[in-house]
Amino acid sequence: MFISPDRARIRSAIVALTVSAIAFAGAVTLARSTTAAAAAPLAAGVEDEGADCAVNLPGTTTAGAKLPDPFKRLDGTRVTTRSDWRCRREEIRKLSERYVYGTKPARPAGVTGTVSRTGITVNVSDGGRSAGFSATVSVPGGTGPFPAVVVVGGLGADTATILAAGVAVINYDPLAVGKEGTARGNKQGAFYSVYGATSSTGLLAAWAWGVSRIIDVIEQSGGTVLKADSLGVTGCSRYGKGAFAIGAFDQRIALTMPIESGSGGVPAFRAIAGESGAQPLSSAYSEQPWLGDAFGPYTGNPAGLPVDQHETVAMIAPRGLFIMENPRIDWLAARSGSVSALAGAEVYKALGAGDNITYWSDVADGTHCAVRPEWRTPLQQHLQKFLLRTGSAAGTFRISSLKAGNLAEWRDWQTPVLTDTPPSSPPPSPSPSGASPSPSRPPSPSPSASSSPPPTGACVAAFRTVNSWPGGFQGEVTVTAGASAISGWTAAWTLGGGQSISQLWNGTLTVTGSAATVKNLSWNGALGAGASTAFGFLGTGSPAASGLACTSP
């Protein structure tokens, strides 16, 4: 999406403005397992850890109106262990390439270049064709080597904040790799010079390929200027679409920060059609060849896709992800973005990394691609946690009430408990310089099953405060079956003075006077003996659930 041709100039002017603070009425901290990683997982040492997985995409696939189950393999079985995720992620990657982005080729036969404190050069050759491009570098004070953030198109997270944190900035011109304003049958740029002007790969995947080649060169450089294992990426608007794809398709990226990416970016394709004012998929497809050619038939039938963008979110797990959206411009499809983020966060939680994803759409104004004071502190925290590795701030969801999606409306699958530790990733190939890339660091284990005896009675319900702020809070209620399996449950409590519930997920809410009642949905009502499920809600007033009780039919 391209809203303003002078966005960069407008953004520069906005930097100088002082924006008053807002009341954080929509603050939400993502519910996560109690044993979520205390420290952020490092980036992987290879571009694609699942490259050795055997993936055979079927000629026909089954889809539907609900978001596809990210835990369901192509053979119909579901992921049950953490070690399963590596190859399931590869299936999602291949589906995304075939139906959404087009193929992102693996590392070319020849990649060379240079890295200095002011720039990076890249030269690639493959199949008798060659191309080159470059990027500029800005480094903070000090001798380095520095972690770095790739800023796509010079438009993304606040570079002043990035540099002040001690992190370098790589200014990447994606149009040198995949040029906009070209016909789908005559694409141009470094990528298409190597793979052909008629390639069905869209610009977003081409841009992702270009950043992967920059990382190759940084790896070859020996880490004298930039750290290859401490890299992030950010972009806004159509460059936000690009940043999202870059982070998803290269596991060496430790922190992905898409901003206001709109249709073709973070928002769920299935949800966009029903979101008033959102850019239609047909428009996003035709405006520029950002998406792969194969996506065309699905612009009017996203329910026919065997994959959706919540699974692109899942491809980034368990690495750092900070999604920033703007609910004040309908065109940006922020409601669909929150749906996608909430669904993708289920994979983060299943991997024991719920602390590693943040979603923030609670912003004060509608200026597109502005430098926002609301995002400055979380930006600093994410840089510290994932690139500098000096922080441990938990991820948070701050979903604006203007564009709050309801995940329960979009899924009919449950999140499994994955209890094993993943195996070591396949040995990475040595870089051309002979230096081995940094090894992958697995996320912390998921919680094991409780050894406590099941509660007495049919079920019990327990309340906890996930987050609170002046005048409001986010609560979570865990429902646990007793000594016998149950086929449904009802949790009930009494609202205190000044309390109300503005949003609830993973259950059906009824409020009569001061009595609040929540019943299970179709997919989370059946619980085995001692098994648990949870629902969450946003409330006003003091955080409490007085007289909370659980019954089962």
pLDDT tens, residue by residue, 89-103? 999 999 999 999 999
Q: Identify the burial level of 34 via C-beta atoms within 10 angstroms of its C-beta, where 0-12 means exposed, 13-18 middle and 19 or more buried.
A: exposed
| Partner residues linked to 506 by β-bridges | none
Mean pLDDT of all residues in 6-17: 33
Q: What is the chain's mean pLDDT, rounded?
A: 86
- Which residue shows structure tokens 């995940």? 407
Which is higher by pLDDT, 27 or 509?
509
Give the integer Cα–Cα distance in Å for 204 and 245. 6
pLDDT of residue 27: 42
Tokens 């038939």 found at: 297
Domains and their CATH numbers in the chain: 7-409 (3.40.50.1820), 459-551 (2.60.40.290)
Return the pLDDT at 44: 85
Strand partners of residue 491: 518, 550
For residue 118, give every residue at least 6 positions away whose Cβ sits within 8 Å of its Cβ, in sequence order, or none.
136, 137
Provide the pLDDT for residue 303: 96
Q: What is the pLDDT of residue 421?
A: 53
**Core vs surface per residue 310-349: b (16+ CB within 10 A) or e:** bbbbbbbbbbbbbbbbbbbbbbbbbbbbbbbbbbbbbbbb
**Rounded average pLDDT over 237-261:** 98
Please tell me the predicted confidence (pLDDT) of residue 43: 82
Q: What are phi and psi of 493, to 5 degrees?
A: -155, 175
- At 410 the pLDDT is 96
Q: What is the dihedral of CA 16, 18, 19, 20, to 10 degrees?
A: 170
Where does the pLDDT of residue 454 fall: very low under 50, low under 70, confident under 90, or very high at 90 and above? low
High-pLDDT (> 90) share of the chain, %: 74
Residues 195-222: tens digit of each pLDDT: 999 999 999 999 999 999 999 999 999 9
For the annotated catalytic residues, the residue numbers are: 237, 368
Residues 511-532 have a mean pLDDT of: 88
pLDDT at 245 over 60: yes
What are the pLDDT digits (tens) for 512-522?
999 999 999 87
Give dist(CA 404, CA 502) in Å, integer: 11
pLDDT band at 62 (very low <50, low <70, confident <90, very high): confident
At 110-166, the pLDDT tens digits run 999 999 999 999 999 999 999 999 999 999 999 999 999 999 999 999 999 999 999
* pLDDT (tens digit per residue) in 365-379: 999 999 999 999 999
d(CA 123, CA 210): 10
CA distance 139 to 48: 28
- Work out the average pLDDT over 237-253: 98
* 520 to 247, 404, 491, 506, 527: CA distances (angstroms): 35, 21, 9, 7, 11
The SS3 assignment for 296 reads helix
For the sheet containing 253-259, what is the strand order?
27-28, 397-398, 357-360, 320-324, 253-259, 226-236, 146-152, 168-172, 129-138, 119-126, 110-115
Rounded CA gap, 36 and 352, in Å?
A: 5
Neighbour count for residue 17 (Cβ, 10 Å): 11
Instruction: Say what the pLDDT of residue 538 is.
Output: 82
At 340-365, the pLDDT tens digits run: 999 999 999 999 999 999 999 999 99
| pLDDT value of residue 503 | 77
| Per-residue pLDDT at 532 | 85
Cβ-based burial of 373 (10 A; exposed 0-12, middle 13-18, buried ≥19): middle
CB 226 within 8 Å of CB 168: yes
CA 178 to CA 155: how far, in whole Å? 17
pLDDT for 425 beyond 80: no
- Cα 499 to Cα 359: distance, rounded to the nearest angstrom: 25
Q: Is residue 201 classed exposed, middle or buried when 0-12, 13-18 and 19+ CB atoms within 10 A define those classes? A: buried
pLDDT tens for each residue of 285-344: 999 999 999 999 999 999 999 999 999 999 999 999 999 999 999 999 999 999 999 999
pLDDT tens per residue, range 386-415: 999 999 999 999 999 999 999 999 999 999
pLDDT digits 0-9 by tens, 28-60: 444 443 333 344 556 888 999 999 999 999 888
Which pLDDT score, from 0 to 100, does residue 41 have?
Answer: 58
CA–CA separation, 248 and 207 (whole Å): 12
Is residue 175 predicted with pLDDT exceeding 70?
A: yes
pLDDT of residue 521: 84
